Amino acid sequence: MPKIKYIEHSGKSHVIDVPNGLSVMEGAVQNNVLGIDADCGGSMACATCHVYVKEEWFNKLPQKEEGEEDMLDLAFEPKKNSRLSCQIVVSNEIDGLVVDLPEKQA
């Protein structure tokens, strides 16, 4: 099962086994990783599952849809490597993905 590493803003990290097909957001929410709110439940409508993807991984992920980029306009402190974690689907290709969580979601 792919392992995803979530690093909280405080530096505390969690390595979670997330089944293929779930989103990186679901991997966090279902395993009590704090710092990802996902208020809208994963419909790309709230920007509260915002994460920063480690540089070496950013270009390996499938590209953002325009709707995701639009929502990132509303995220708390967006950066170049920002993504919405509900839009990153876990697969063997992203085994070992590392994401940093923002200080807060809003």
Interface ranges with another protein (CB under 8 A): 37, 39-41, 43, 45-48, 69-70, 73-74, 76-78, 80, 103, 106
| Residue 77 or 93 with smaller CB distance to another protein | 77
| Least Å from the CB of residue 56 to another protein | 19
Q: Pick between residue 3 and residue 81 the one whose CB is nearest to another protein.
A: 81
Nearest approach, Cβ of residue 85 and another protein (Å)? 17
C-alpha dihedral sign at 17, 7, 72, 30 = positive
Give long-range contacts, CB 8 A cutoff, 24+ apart: 37-44. Answer: 37/105, 37/106, 38/85, 38/86, 42/86, 43/86, 44/68, 44/71, 44/84, 44/86, 44/87
Least Å distance, CB 35 to another protein, is: 13
